Amino acid sequence: MIRCLMKTRRLLGLLGAALALPLAAQDSGGAVVQLADGTSVPLTTATLSYEYVAWKPGTPQFQAQPQRRDAAELWLAKKTYPVKGQNLQIVYTPVEKEREVEGVETRVKILVASSLVLGEGTRKTPLKLEPPHRDLVLPGAEKNLLLVVRTLDLKGETLTGTKKEFCLLSYTALVECPDDAANRVVRVEFR
């Protein structure tokens, strides 16, 4: 009987900690990621992450190591958009691409991010996809340094502590985000 009470108390303590976790997540900037297959992934922490390569003139671009710059805001061209408390919808357009299907190269239509919509309710702002300006990605960098921003990702941690990363969009044809419904992000609700 005493063992049963101890186990019950332990379970209630774990349950209380699990229920308190989403409340703490609201303070730390969590998000809910909605995928094209209809599933949602709640994140207790969420950070936008820009993947880029930077290299000096005269050095081949392929030798540059990909790097990341994390941000709490959405960067498009020279503008910054706060995302806390906002919904970010990714708008897709079908594009023909070469794919190997059953061992044969063929042209298929895949969905590629073409624009964004930020806001909720009646306050929605359509946004054009433009890579962030170099001053946002590499403030104070040498002017002759070459830079290509490759992707915008969302990094975070799930309720169970698993680290997750979602590719939201690609700024270059050299890198593609997953196009299958189970990995294609259609909306992010930032807390």
Per residue in 111-152, pLDDT tens? Answer: 999 999 999 878 999 999 999 999 999 998 898 999 999 999
Beta strands in the chain (DSSP E): 31-35, 40-55, 67-71, 73-76, 79-82, 87-101, 104-120, 123-128, 146-158, 163-170, 185-190
pLDDT, mean over the chain: 87
User: Which amino acid, one-letter code, is at 131?
Assistant: P
Cβ neighbours, 10 Å, residue 74: 20
Q: How far apart are CA 90 and CA 46, in angstroms?
A: 17
Joined together, the tokens standing for residue 28 give 């730390």
Q: Which residue has the tokens 């997540």?
A: 25
Q: What is the pLDDT of residues 85-115, one digit of tens each?
A: 999 999 999 999 888 888 899 998 999 999 9
d(CA 8, CA 22): 22
- pLDDT, average across residues 21-47: 80
> Which tokens sit at 181?
């419904």
Predicted pLDDT at 181: 95
Residues of the chain with pLDDT > 90, as a percent, come to 73
